[in-house]
Chains A and B, each alone.
Chain A
């Protein structure tokens, strides 16, 4: 690693540390009901799932649309494992079934098991599915996500999954405690820590020799195979790891929402995540993160007025009624897809050098425009 890269790395680490410090300060000073925290938490959760999808779509070139299914597995595994036994045996949640699982686990075990459950399932469906090419792969993974949803809603499995009914009363974000010293971790910080660790792992993976193999497969399968890369093994690996993190983000989403129900994880959810990845730039981790926070902030906060009848001081309840926000949103997305198909970041990563380059180009562009003006 050159000296320049090393300073670059240190700057990045300091910037990330700053983000965490800001989160800690915000959480100590502002009231927890503030909408900012909703945006931060949900944004971090979506960042994780968007990055996990980017690992598949952007770095391995596997166009998979199964993310919602794996999130569902994660969310349910987490909910089932961490729900206290007393609640499971009472009628509070399992109204129509007798729960057959008579133990509960802690949050950390729940999160890891959520990831593992999703990964195991991914390994199983990867066997047939990963032999398919581009759009067939997309539709087959979409299909598997639907099958997963059907299985979780099936009333024969009711004693485990509570059928199509809501899961709740499991351990949510407010009950995160550090085991031995018994200190509560603030909810937003916890989401940031988990999502941050997972994303850091994915970044390390992408920069390892496995990551280079993934990129080789994306760029040219046949050439990659000729170079001695085991295609199926690497595809399987990317698919399983991506699903593992999708499972964890599903569990985080369940923690964040307090309740979880299978019918929420429709293919529309996968599309939403895919569009976030596209907005951020396919093949850019930092792009996916920025896009998720932007997307969540816009849809949950800044554009809320579009649904409520008043936006930017304009009062027009006839136009700004429920659903207008998403309508505007989808138009923006179409514009991005059609005219800015590289997204926010393209396949570059956010760094100071990148920012400096952008600024310099802008300035030199202005200078050129000024200089060239009179003569032309």
Chain B
């Protein structure tokens, strides 16, 4: 066991780090789904846009200014998307909202493709985060260690917000029952906007950590992480924040072991790397068939 841990340490470390980054994105999915019952396909692309904003802004201003500006702009983007693309469809069937989300995702990707010229951009080095350190013979970047800590701090803050503030209480009420909470005088639109703002903020933080690790942003680099984070949210039980975080860590770690592992089940070769993405979806299908509510999800009853 120790042997396995030691030989795979660098993969496990990067797995934990990726897991933390996924967790920050997955929270956005799980909160939106909890309230609107919508898979926000555009969330992964918001994450990518945050990465691109950082590339362009850091080229023209110091890092200390670029970071808060990226956070603000990403939040604005999330807010605008909700207002323009989802709010007009609130009474429409769920399928049309989902199609709208896919449309937004398509739009953001194509916009990014146009403005970047289709090339992957080099992500700027955030001074302190990209330094290299060594833990137990495995060298890694500072960001690897910072990510899980930052993730946990943010998640704790978010949980406190949801548990003790008025808006948090409103969120819980809306996710329990949309119509009743509206009748009780909760301003639904405000609650939904706040949800998107929190989700986009966390996605922006996640993008800074994620792209510091990967060093380049392309217009398509939002899609896969986005889908994986949605899977993480489903795995943990959609609507549950701790569930999303745990799901994201599990997916991040497993994926990195698959990527790095030399042989699995006795079949050797580097071919398993192809399956690091597929693994996530296999996990999704297994969990949906075995326990559709996820690890921590509440059982929903279908009303006729």
Interface residues of A (CB under 8 A from B): 57, 63, 128-129, 131-132, 134-136, 138-140, 142-144, 146-147, 149-151, 153-156, 164, 222, 267-268, 271-272, 274-275, 278, 282, 321-324, 326-327, 329-331, 333-334, 337-338, 341
Contacts and interface: CB of A to CB of B under 8 A. Distances in A.
Contacts of A274: 99, 102
A334 B39 contact: no
Contacts of A138: 39, 98
Nearest to B102: A271
Nearest to A334: B103
Interface of B: 37-39, 84-85, 88-89, 92, 94-96, 98-100, 102-107, 109-111, 113-114, 117-118, 220, 223, 227, 230-231, 234, 267, 269-271, 274-275, 277-278, 280-282, 284-285, 288-289, 292, 304
Given A143-B284, A334-B85, A337-B96, 18 more contacts: A63-B98, A134-B94, A135-B98, A136-B234, A136-B292, A143-B231, A146-B278, A147-B281, A150-B277, A150-B278, A155-B271, A222-B304, A271-B102, A274-B99, A330-B103, A330-B110, A334-B103, A334-B104
Contacts of B39: 135, 138-139
B132 to A, nearest CB: 32
Contacts of B270: 155
B281 A144 contact: yes
A129 B285 contact: yes
**Majority SS of interface residues in chain B?**
helix
Contacts of A136: 234, 288, 292
A140 B285 contact: yes
25 contacts: A63-B98, A129-B285, A132-B292, A135-B38, A143-B280, A144-B281, A151-B278, A153-B274, A154-B274, A154-B275, A155-B269, A267-B223, A272-B106, A278-B99, A282-B95, A321-B117, A323-B113, A323-B117, A323-B118, A327-B114, A331-B107, A334-B103, A337-B103, A338-B89, A341-B92
Chain A interface, >50% SS class: helix
Contacts of A139: 39, 227, 230-231, 234, 284
Given A324-B114, A326-B114, A330-B110, A271 B271 contact: no
B107 A142 contact: no
Contacts of B220: 268
A331 B37 CA distance: 25
Contacts of A329: 110
A332 to B, nearest CB: 10
A322 B117 contact: yes
A330 B292 contact: no
B251 to A, nearest CB: 13
Contact of B271 (A154, A324, A334): A154
A131 B289 contact: yes
A301 B116 CA distance: 24
A275 B289 contact: no
A143 B289 CA distance: 14
A326 B110 contact: yes
A328 B193 CA distance: 27
Contact of B105 (A131, A222, A271, A324): A271
Contacts of A282: 95
Given A271-B105, A326-B113, A333-B103, A144 B89 contact: no
Contacts of B102: 271, 274-275
Given A134-B94, A156-B267, A330-B107, A338 B100 contact: yes
Q: 3 shortest A-B CB distances, which residue pairs?
A: A143-B281, A150-B278, A323-B114
Contacts of A144: 281, 285
Contacts of A153: 274
B278 A327 contact: no
Contacts of A222: 304
B274 A128 contact: no
Nearest to A324: B114
A132 B227 CA distance: 18
A208 B275 CA distance: 42
Contacts of A140: 281, 284-285, 288
A223 to B, nearest CB: 10
A331 B107 CA distance: 6
A149 to B, nearest CB: 8
B117 A134 contact: no
Given A338-B100, A341-B92, A156 B105 contact: no
A323 B108 CA distance: 12
A12 B126 CA distance: 65
A131 B285 CA distance: 11
B110 A128 contact: no
Contacts of B104: 334
A323 B115 CA distance: 8
A132 B292 CA distance: 9
Nearest to A331: B107
Given A139-B230, A143-B231, A222-B304, A337 B100 contact: yes
Nearest to B92: A341
B25 to A, nearest CB: 15
B48 to A, nearest CB: 13
Contacts of B285: 128-129, 140, 143-144
B106 A330 contact: yes
B111 to A, nearest CB: 6
Contacts of A155: 269-271, 274
Contacts of B106: 268, 271-272, 275, 330, 333
